[in-house]
Amino acid sequence: AYAYLVKGDDVEEFRAVLQKALEHRAQSVELRRIREINRAIVENFPGRMLVLDAEGRVLLMNEFPLPSDSPEGPVKGPPECECRIEEVFPRSHPWSAAILEYYLEWRNSGEPGDITRLKSASPGGDPRYFNVRFVPLLHGLARSLILVEEISRLVQMEGEMEKSARLAAVGEMASMIAHEVRNPLSGISGALQVLRKRFSPGKAEREICD
């Protein structure tokens, strides 16, 4: 009970208790709104998002699939289960081991950190690429934020653009070569036509000019 009245007729006391109740209600509504916004952000983030405490325990995490996930799916964070970062990024997988090792070295630095274009080879399929962002948090319980964003499509588009640029360069070079070769050939052709007229039909020299 946070707002109640002792039986009586004190209007000022009634106003104070009512104000307290209204403030409590407004705080509850705002807290619920913030939680809904946070849930929407986490669930719709196009990658893996983790919030960790100082000991590396996962406080919040979405379920975006990663190369290191088991066949049963990604490790679930609270409230489904308690887990640590070593369970999300196991050392048994080279891709996730790189993230874990970076985190262990970075977590006490107090500065943001990045791993860019981290490549995960996938047997029988195209490799996947990720950017990993490490952000220190100032909250008493939440100490680290890790964002793992897949950029495979971006890398693929960059490769296609680079290939197109190389093809364009080859085309330009071929055009330049054709131009440089065509000019002397035109001169040679004109000279042969002049020489050919000097030889009568049936002459070996005319056949050579032809």
Q: Is the pLDDT of residue 80 over 60?
A: no
Sheet (strand 58-61) strand order: 58-61, 47-52, 144-150, 128-136, 113-120
pLDDT of residue 73: 64
Cα–Cα distance measured from residue 177 to residue 169, given in angstroms and rounded to the nearest whole number: 12
Contacts 24+ apart (CB under 8 A), 199-202: none
150 CB contacts (<8 Å, ≥6 apart)?
46, 47, 128, 129, 130
Q: What are 20's two structure tokens? A: 């307290």
Q: Is the pLDDT of residue 156 over 90?
A: no
* Better-predicted residue by pLDDT, 95 or 71: 95
Rounded to an integer, the average pLDDT of 188-208 is: 87
pLDDT of residue 72: 63
Q: Is the pLDDT of residue 130 over 70?
A: yes
- Burial (CB < 10 A; 0-12, 13-18, 19+), residue 183, is exposed
- Predicted TM-score (pTM) of the model is 0.64
Length of the chain: 210
